[in-house]
Each structure stands twice: as C-alpha cells, then as structure tokens.
Structure 1
C-alpha cells in the first residue's frame, strides 16, 4: 500500500484549508497594510494567521503519522495488553490531533507577539529615562512596523529637542556675555567722561587751556562711545538677519581696488605702506555692496591700528576654485593672540581688539557679513605676521 493510499481524505482537506488560509492572510494583510493606522493591527493578525498555518501543518503531520502507525501493525502491542484497539486509537488520535496543533499555535503566537511586547516595554523604559535624564538618548530600532516607525520618530524628536536646548543655552550664554561686555565697555568711557566733567566743574572756564583739553578728551570719549553703540546695533541687526536685501552681481576685486586706493593715502599719512597684488583680474559675485565695503574697511582699519610701522600691509588675491583674498600685516605685539578666536565677539584675550579705539566688534561683524554672503573668513599667525583670509564663492 502506498503512502498516498493511506492518507485519508480529511488530510487532503487540511492541505486545502492551509492553502486557503495563506491566501486569506495575504489579502487581509495587504489591505490592512495600505492604511498607516492599521499596520499595527495587521502585524498581530499576521502573527495569529501564521500561527494558525503552523498549527494546521502540525495537525496534518500528526494525522499522517497516526495513519502510518495504524497501518504499520504497531498498535497490536496495545491490543495484547487488553485495551480495545479502536478506543485507544481514537482516544490517542483525538488527543494528539488537538494537543499538538493547539500547543504549536500558542507557542508560535506567543513568541511572535511577545517579541513586540518586549520591544514596547523597552520603548516605555527608554521614554521614562528620557523624561528623567533629558533629551538626547537614542533607542534601538527593531523590525519595520508601526512600533519601529514610532521609535524612529521619538529618536529624531529627542535629538532635535536636545539640539534646541543646547542652542538656546548657548544663545542665553551669549546674551549674558554680550550684556557683561557691553556694560564694561560702556562703563569705561562713561566713567572717564564723568571724571572730566567733574574736573571741568572744578577748573571752570577761567583756565581756558585746561578747559579745552578736557573738552577734547570728553569729545574723543563720546565719539568712541557713539562708535561702540553703532557697532553694537549693527552686529545685533546682522545676527537677526538670514540674508541681505539688495544683493547685486558685482566685481568684488574692482570694489576692493577702489577701497585700497583710498586707504593707501590714509596709511601713507600715518607712516604705513600698503601694497597689493591681485592675481585675478575680476571675480563677479552676488553681494551687498555696502556690507562688503564694511568688511574691507574693518580689516584695513584693524591693520592700520595695530600694524608695525616699520613693515608694510599687503593684500593679495587669487583664484583657487574660489576667490581667496588675504590681508597680512606685521603686528607690534603678537603675544597672547589666538587666531582661531579673534572673530569671537568681545574676545578679551585678543590684544588687537582690546584697546580704547576698538569696540571689539569689528572682526565679529566681518565674520557675520561673510557668513550671510555664503563665504568664509579665517586667520593665521606666523611669528609676528597676522593674515586674515577671505573666501568667496
């Protein structure tokens, strides 16, 4: 007798049931998966259906095995012990046919569902840690279902909120430093002005020479104070801007040449030598002309103020995929200068920005203007020579 002949008809029916179940699973899961809100439901339905398929397959295997045993003569052992052959066979067949599929269904479904339940518990614990320790934690991604997508969203939200917190903290710290530095820079000239006003009261207009000297000092202090307030206003306005209005396509090198000719006369009057070598003939870029003039003027004023009178200020330009302008001057005293920090606002360690003639905002304004133009600015120090590098698109 062949194996096909000993398999009863209900085994074939089970096979048909399994195939039909698989087809139904495919249709239902596909329909539910098309809805974002129902994907989680589809996952658990899939787990149940897969477990059902496994249990039906086990049922078919058990029934097939029982039929093979019934036709192998092994049941004669129970008949010799005195048990009724048909009763024992039917009882064992019923127990095996029910118990094994049920156990397989429960185990399979539990394994698949508990895996996601444990993941949900893990997410719950991680979210609790985020609440206690703050944002920035990253949770492990497992699978590709609704829960995993939720975890990915939480990770992204946690990172962004942490970045926002750090950014707000830096902004608050920056505001505090600004208030402290501005208060210090305003207090110094105001204290000086108040002192000279008191001297004017004591001296009176009778001593005309001293009166004029004190008035001249007060005027200088007020001029410096006005410059500080104007630069502070300008820097605050630049920091709140995302881009410049009135951008125009302009030759940057032509603009620089005009400014260099003006400063050459000013520097020669102060005993300085200004020379330039602009290798590139022209370089067109979209710029705000007024702000770019401010960049060149701030850098050249900085060179005028702190350059060694025995050396010359040099300006070079070259194309290296982008326009590179370099302004170099020998400092009178380069001790303690940190090139990487000279563009920081109110950098007190920088001698080149801590004199009474300097507000401490000029180089910070240069950096911000270059950033709003999509360019870069940096500095390097070799011995006593300070070089400021401008890079344009």
Structure 2
C-alpha cells in the first residue's frame, strides 16, 4: 500500500480528484443559481396566472347569494387544497368563508379594508382580491394561498432542471475521466515499451535500441537510453578488441617461449652426456624439472587462451571410460611409485560405460588433476582413483591425503590448471565437485544419468 501511494498512478488519481472538485465548484454553483432563479420566475408567473383567473371568474358570478359564492369557493378548493376564501358583501359584512384560519371581523370598515390590503400586499399568504360579479356594488371576494404551495407546484420543473444538470455534469465528469485514462494509458504504454527494451538482449547480451516517436519528456528519456545503448556497444567492441589482442599476445608469447625452451633442452641433453660431477648431475636434474614445469605452464597458458577464445578443437566421441582410465593411470603409475605414493585404483564398471567425450580433453583433465596431486599432496603419499555410481550420476573420483588446497605448497602454481579443468568439464556437459581440507582433497567428475 505504501508503494502504491508513492506511485505515479496515485499522484495522477489525486490530480483527477482535485480537478473534479474544481469542476463541481465551477459548475454546480451557477447551476444552482440558475435553478433558483428559474423557480422564482415560475412562481411569479403562476401567481400572475392565479390572480388573472380569480378576477375573470369573479366577474362571471351572476347571482350574489351565499350559496353561489360557496360553490365558487369549493371549485377553487378542489384545485388548491391549501387555499382559504371569504366574501365581504356591499354592506361590509363577512357573508361567507371557507377554511379561513385567521380571525376576521364580521363588519369591514373602509379603514380596516385598506389596512388588510396593505398587510397582504406581496406577503405570505399570497392574496388576491376581486370584485364579485361585474358590479362593484356586490362587494369583493378574497383568495389566499400559502406561498409554499406555489413553490410546490414548481417542484416538477425543479426536478426536471436538476436531472438535466446532473446528466450534463455526469457526462462532463465521465468525459474528463476517459480522456485522462487514455492519456495515462499512452504514457504507461510508452514506459512499458521502454522497460521491455531494457530487458531484451541481442546476441551481444546488450539492450536493444527503441524508436523515438515524440519529442517530449519520455522521448528525451528514450533518446538518452539509445545513447546509453550505443555507448555500451562501443565499450563492448573495445573490450572484445582488447581481449582478442591479449589472446593473440599470449599465443605469440607461448610460441616464442617454446623455441628457446626446445634449444635449452637439446643443449641440456648434450651436457648430460658429458662426464659430470655429482653436483653437475644434480644441477642438470633440477634444470630438467624446471624446464618441465615451464613447459607445462606454457601449455596450460596456451590451452586456456584457446579455450576462452573457443578455438580449441573439440571432437567428442563415444569411448569406454573404464578402459580409458586404466590406460591413463598406467602412464602415471611409475611416476607416483617413484615419488613413494601408495596407489589405490578401483575402477568398477558402470551400467553404461560409454561416455561421449573428447578423449584428448579427458586426458588433459586427468593429467592436470594428477599433476596437482604431485605438487600439493606429496606429504600424504597417497592417491586413490575409483568410480562411483549414484542414483542420478556416474563419477570418477580422485582423492589424496595431503594438506588440502588451502594450505601453502612450494609447488603451487597460478591455478590455471584447475581453471582449464573447469572449462573442459563444462564444455563436455559434465560436472565436478571439490572437497578439500587438512585431511586431503576429493575431486569428483560426474556425468548426470539420462532420464529414461
């Protein structure tokens, strides 16, 4: 809820409500005044009509008797139930009356008559005085009606006017809301398109550009986004060029180092054929070991460069993994035996012994791991190579009893050998796990079983 109140939609709804409030003030007040004025005009019009009709019918009365006057009063009473009427004859006597609540004198003097007319003029109740018959000698008749009854007769007009104004106001409000929603929908559509452009990635894993259709605030945001995408592409291109230059440099450097290394080995071999002292023979052995390590480092560096550039030949084929492991271990057996290692090899067949891998890459992985054991686990003097079949995988396990990878070793290199192992394992759709501690290191190369 807190997030909603901070959103652009909540702010826009507040704007709409404020606008509606202003519309009500600016529209309904004049409408009310118009209706009120119209009611007054209608009331005055109706009063004039009653006055005219009362005079006309009073002049048409022929027989000036109490009965005929009361009959006339009763006819008007049916039309105006709240009215009251009375007759003062030519002698000034109150001769007939109908529903009169005010106290009236039985005899009317000219002075009282004038006072009565003055009090009733434009007051409540509405009063009409007309001479009876067509002769002023018959006295006058009086019609009185509360002015509230006149306003009640205009309710129909008021209701009609109120409904009309309500419909007009509702139409204006709905139109305003519709226009506002369409406006906001257009803004939201453009913002969603910009968000989708940010999430979409092309072959370079970079956002794609968006078409700028309008030169407004959102259009400026889209232009800035396109500029950012362009700068990212230029930066990516420079990075790729620098990476390619680095790889070419490493490849050339590896090639250039191999040439003098080969010459040094040839001359060292010639020296070893000469008659040397014990110190000389030991020096030649140390140099041979150093050259061998340097050769492995150059080979790993070259392999890493080719792997990261995806230029190293990968030729997978179906091989018998158990037979291949036995052949690889046979070439390493004498080396570990010379170093005084206890070797435990237990290669139990899998249900499916055929693995689809590159044999040269698999040999490279095993060689790197075994070389790692020679460099880091000489203190344990133990090597175990075995197979393991789990519920969801088949694995090759290489274990030692050294001090673990986290402990400093004189033979420890830059770790590029394990990086090559990781790249090759993932390329061949295999998995690997490393568990290392002060009691040794266990490495599992796993092939997930296919779902049947």
| Pick aligned residue for 1:308 from 356, 362, 378 | 378
- Deviations along 1:200-245, whole A, 9 cap, x unmatched? xxxxxxx986888777665554444333222211111112228853
1:81 and 1:352, CA in 2 relative to 1: closer, same or farther beyond 3 A? farther
Structure 2 equivalent of residue 391 of structure 1: 446
Shift of 1:336: 3.7
CA deviation after TM superposition for structure 1 residue 252, in Å: 1.6
> Closer, same or farther in 2 for the Cα pair 1:226/1:312, shift >3 Å?
closer
Larger radius of gyration: 2
Asked if structure 1 preserves the Cα contact closer than 8 Å seen for 2:306 and 2:312, the reply is no
Contact 1:277 1:317 (C-alpha < 8 Å) held by counterparts: yes
Alpha-carbon shift at residue 76 of structure 1 (Å): 9.2
Q: Structure 1 257/242 Cα, relative in aligned 2: closer, same or farther at 3 Å? A: same
Is the contact between residue 336 and residue 350 of structure 1 (CA under 8 Å) also seen in structure 2? no
Cα distance, 1:351 vs. partner?
6.1
1:1-393 matched pairs, under 5 angstroms = 79-82=42-45, 92=161, 96=165, 99-100=168-169, 102-116=171-185, 119=188, 123=191, 148=192, 150-157=193-200, 161=206, 220-241=289-310, 245-281=314-350, 283-308=353-378, 311-320=381-390, 321-331=392-402, 333-334=403-404, 336-337=406-407, 353-354=412-413, 360-393=415-448
Is the Cα contact below 8 Å between 2:405 and 2:436 reproduced in 1?
A: no
Secondary structure class of the residue paired with 1:325: strand
Preserved CA contact (<8 Å) 1:280 1:318? no
What is the rounded CA distance, in whole Å, between the counterparts of 2:365 and 2:178 in structure 1?
Answer: 70
Higher share in helix: 1
User: Would you say how many aligned residue pairs link Structure 1 and Structure 2?
Assistant: 253
Please list the CA deviations of residues 110-161 of structure 1 after superposition, one character each: whole Å capped at 9, or x if unmatched: 232233255369x3xxxxxxxxxxxxxxxxxxxxxxxx4x144224148954
> 1:246 and 1:314, CA in 2 relative to 1: closer, same or farther beyond 3 A?
same
Tell me how far 1:295 sits from its aligned partner. Answer: 1.0
Structure 1, residues 60-83: CA drift from partner, whole Å, max 9, x if none? xxxxxxxxxxxxxxx998643327
Q: Distance in 1 between matches of 2:410 and 2:288?
A: 25
C-alpha spacing 1:228/1:275, structure 2 compared with 1 (3 Å): same
> What is the CA distance between 1:101 and its match in structure 2?
6.4
The separation in 1 between residues aligned to 2:348 and 2:288, in whole angstroms, is 43
Contact (CA 8 Å) 2:385, 2:397: kept in 1 or not? Answer: yes
Instruction: Tell me if the contact between 2:396 and 2:446 (Cα under 8 Å) persists in the aligned partners.
Output: yes
Separation (CA, whole Å) in 2 of partners of 1:382 and 1:208:
44
- Normalised by the length of structure 1, the TM-score is 0.50
Cα deviation, 1:18-42, whole Å, max 9, x if unaligned, reads xxxxxxxxxxxxxxxxxxxxxxxxx
C-alpha deviation, 1:325, in angstroms: 1.5
* Cα contact 1:244–1:288 (8 A) shared by 2: no
Inter-CA distance 236–257: structure 2 relative to 1 (3 Å threshold): same
Shift of the 81–155 alpha-carbon distance from structure 1 to 2, 3 Å rule, reads: farther
8 Å CA contact retained: 2:368, 2:418: yes
User: Which structure 1 segments of 5+ residues have no match?
Assistant: 1-74, 124-147, 197-206, 338-348
Q: What per-residue deviation string (whole Å, max 9, x for no partner) do you get for residues 237-272 of structure 1? A: 112228853211112222112212332232112211
In 1, distance between residues paired with 2:289 and 2:337? 23
C-alpha change, 1:114 and 1:365, in structure 2 (3 Å) is same
2:350 and 2:389 in contact (8 A); partners too:
no
Q: Which has the higher contact order (CA 8 A, sep 6+)?
A: 1
Rounded to whole Å, the distance in 1 between the matches of 2:397 and 2:435 is: 10
Superposed CA RMSD: 4.9
Q: Compared with structure 1, are the counterparts of its residues 263 and 221 closer, same or farther at alpha carbon in structure 2 (3 Å cutoff)?
A: closer
1:275, distance to aligned residue in structure 2 (A): 1.0
- Runs of 5+ in structure 2 lacking a partner? 1-37, 50-153, 208-228, 265-274
SS at match of 2:299: helix
